[in-house]
Amino acid sequence: MLSVIYISVADPLIGEQDIAALLVQARRNNQRDALTGALIFNGHNFLQLLEGPADKVDACLAVIRSDPRHSGMVEIRRRRIDDRAFAEWSMLYDPNFRGHDDSLSRLAASGRLDPQDALMMENFIALGRRRPQGAGTVD
């Protein structure tokens, strides 16, 4: 099996309805193709971990690369795996991932989520929670 993590830049006009439609499609296709993983949207960028049979992962990534809802897709990690980290989820998603921080921590603590994958995901989530400089200041 193969695990791939990529990041990309979301279309600036993407909205909650677009992401909901993306998730319906991804979950349906992933279930059909025996893929699992997690999608994180930090308000500007996507990070996705996709895992499953290598040929199915690569075919899915080819489709994702041509999706107009994002651009600048870069694979940041590609590795062979024996076991899935996200076996329970066709596509785990939660806005800002606030509802799944504990899930990531438990997966990492149990050894199911590779420590480097966990660190990348946690850092990506944290970047989305940072307030822009000057936010909340009074001039």
pLDDT tens, the chain, 139 aa long = 999 999 999 999 999 899 999 999 999 999 999 999 999 888 889 999 999 999 999 999 999 999 999 999 999 999 999 999 988 888 888 665 555 556 666 666 667 788 889 888 888 887 776 655 554 444 4
Residue 139 lies inside a defined structural domain of this protein: no
- How many domains does the chain fold into? 1
Instruction: Give the C-alpha separation, 36 to 108, whole Å.
Output: 17
Q: Determine the Cα–Cα distance for residues 117 and 82; give it in Å rounded to an integer.
A: 15
Contact 118, 108 (CB under 8 A): yes
Instruction: For residue 2, give the nearest of 74, 67, 83, 119 by alpha carbon.
Output: 83
The pTM (predicted TM-score) of the whole model is: 0.83
| 136 within some domain | no
Identify the pLDDT of residue 139: 42
Written as six digits, the tokens of 86 are 């996200």
Strand partners, 70: 10
Question: Is residue 137 a part of any domain in this protein?
Answer: no
CATH number at residue 115: 3.30.70.100
Domain-located, residue 134: no
- H helix or E strand, kind and range, residue 52: strand 45-52
Kindly state the tokens that stand for 57.
Answer: 């992962």
In a domain, 138, yes or no: no
Range of the domain at 124: 2-128
Nearest 5°: phi and psi at 118?
Answer: -60, -45
Establish if 133 belongs to a structural domain.
Answer: no
